[in-house]
Chains A and B, each alone.
Chain A
Amino acid sequence: MNPVARSPLLELRGITKRFGAAQALSGVDLDVFAGEVLALVGDNGAGKSTLVKTIAGIFPPEGGEMRFGGVPIALRGPRDATRLGIATVYQDLALCDNLDVVANLFLGREERATPSRMLDEEAMEKRALAVLHVLNVKLPSVRAAMGGLSGGQRQSVAVARALMGEAKLVMLDEPTAALGVVQTTQVLELILRLKQQGLAVIVISHNLADVFRVADRIVVLRQGRLVGDFETHATARETVVGRITGADAGATPGIA
Chain B
Amino acid sequence: MTVSAPDPVHPPSARLRPASIARRLRGVEAGPLPVLLGLVLLWSFFAWQNEHFLSARNLTNLVLQIAAMGTMSVGIVLVLLLGEIDLSVGAVSGLGAAVMAVLDVQRGLGPGPSILAGVATGASIGLFQGFWFTRFRVPSFVVTLAGLLAWQGALLRVLGSTGTLNIYDPAIDGLTGIFLPPWLGWVFGAACVGIAVSGMAGLARRRARAGLSPLPKRALVWPIAVVAVLVPAVVALLNDDRGVPMALLLLLAFVAGFDGMIRRTRFGRHILAVGGNAEAARRSGIRADAVRVVVFGLSGALAACGGILAASRLLAVNQSSGGGEVLLDAIAAAVIGGTSLFGGRGTVWSALTGALVIGSISNGMDLLALPSSEKFMVTGAALLLAVTIDALAREGRPSRG
Contact present for A138 and B401 (CB under 8 Å):
no
Tell me whether A94 and B277 are in contact in the complex, defined as CB-CB below 8 angstroms, given that A147-B399, A152-B401 are known contacts.
yes
A127-151 contact mask (Cβ, 8 Å, vs B): 1 or 0: 0010000001110100001011111
Docked Cα-Cα span, A190 to B398, in Å, equals 24
Q: In the complex, which residues of chain B have a beta carbon less than 8 angstroms from the beta carbon of A79? A: 285
Cα(A123)–Cα(B345), bound, Å: 24
In this assembly, does B52 line the interface, its C-beta being within 8 Å of a C-beta of chain A?
A: no
Q: Which residues of B contact A108 (CB under 8 A)?
A: 273, 281, 284-286
In angstroms, Cα B272 to Cα A110, docked, is 13
A129, A147, A150, A153: the one contacting B397 at CB < 8 Å is A147
B281/A107 in contact, CB under 8 A:
yes
- Considering only residues 1-60 of chain B, those with a C-beta below 8 Å from chain A are 1-5, 7-10, 27, 29
Looking at the assembled complex, report how far the CB atom of B237 sits from the nearest CB atom of chain A, in whole angstroms: 33
Q: Which of A99, A112, A118, A122 contacts B272 (CB 8 A)?
A: A99
CB distance from A209 to the nearest CB of B (A): 16
Flag if B264 contacts A140 (CB, 8 Å): no
Residues of A within 8 A of B281 (CB): 96, 107-108
Tell yes or no: A71 within 8 A of B by CB.
Answer: no
A185 and B4 alpha carbons, distance in the complex (Å): 11
Given known pairs A109-B285, A138-B4, the reply for A96 and B273 (CB within 8 Å) is yes
For B286, the closest partner residue in chain A by CB is A108
> How would residues 149 to 172 of chain A score, 1 for a CB under 8 Å from any chain B CB and 0 otherwise?
111111010000000000000000
Give the complex CA separation of A98 and B264 in angstroms.
Answer: 16
Tally inter-chain residue pairs, CB-CB below 8 A: 119
| Cβ-based interface call for B265 (8 A) | yes
CB-defined contacts of A97 to chain B, threshold 8 Å: 276-277, 344, 397, 399
Nearest CB on B from A244, distance (A): 29
A119-B9 CB under 8 A given contacts A148-B398, A154-B401: no
Residue in B closest to A96 when the chains form the complex, CB atoms: B276
Cβ of B283 within 8 Å of any chain A Cβ, yes or no, is yes
Asked whether, in the complex, the Cβ of B212 is within 8 Å of the Cβ of A186, the reply is no
Whether B279 sits at the interface, judged by CB under 8 Å, is yes
Bound together, the chains give a CA A119 to CA B280 distance in angstroms of: 20
CB distance from B329 to the nearest CB of A (A): 26
Given contacts A148-B398, A154-B400, A186-B3, contact A96 B280 (CB under 8 A): yes
A-side contacts of B209, CB under 8 Å: 122
The interface centre, meaning the residue of A118, A129, A137 with most chain B CB atoms within 10 A of its CB, is A118
**Contact of B7 with A122 in the complex, beta carbons under 8 Å:** no
Contact of A138 among B7, B9, B211, B345 (CB under 8 A): B7
A253 at the binding interface (Cβ < 8 Å): no
Known: A97-B277, A108-B281. A190 touches B266 (CB 8 A): no
Q: B210 and A126: CB pair below 8 A?
A: yes
* List of B residues within 8 angstroms of A21 by Cβ: none
Given contacts A96-B280, A96-B281, A186-B3, whether A107 and B286 have CB atoms under 8 Å apart is yes
Q: Are B277 and A151 in contact (CB under 8 A)?
A: no
Taking CB as reference atom, which chain B residue is nearest A129?
Answer: B212
**Do B284 and A125 have beta carbons less than 8 Å apart?**
no
Contacts A94-B280, A97-B276, A138-B4 known; list 12 others, CB within 8 Å: A96-B281, A97-B344, A98-B345, A107-B281, A108-B273, A108-B286, A110-B269, A125-B212, A137-B3, A147-B398, A156-B3, A186-B1
A-B pairs, top 9 by smallest CB distance, nearest first, are A150-B401, A108-B284, A98-B344, A96-B276, A98-B276, A94-B280, A122-B210, A108-B285, A107-B284
Q: B: which residues have CB within 8 A of A?
A: 1-5, 7-10, 27, 29, 206-207, 209-212, 264-266, 269, 272-273, 275-277, 279-281, 283-286, 343-345, 397-401
Measured CB to CB, the residues of A under 8 A from B are 78-79, 82, 92-99, 103, 107-110, 112, 117-119, 122-123, 125-126, 129, 136-138, 140, 145, 147-154, 156, 178, 182-183, 185-186, 189-190
A-B contact pairs, 13 of them (CB 8 A): A78-B283, A95-B280, A96-B276, A98-B275, A99-B272, A107-B284, A108-B281, A109-B284, A148-B27, A151-B401, A156-B3, A185-B2, A190-B3
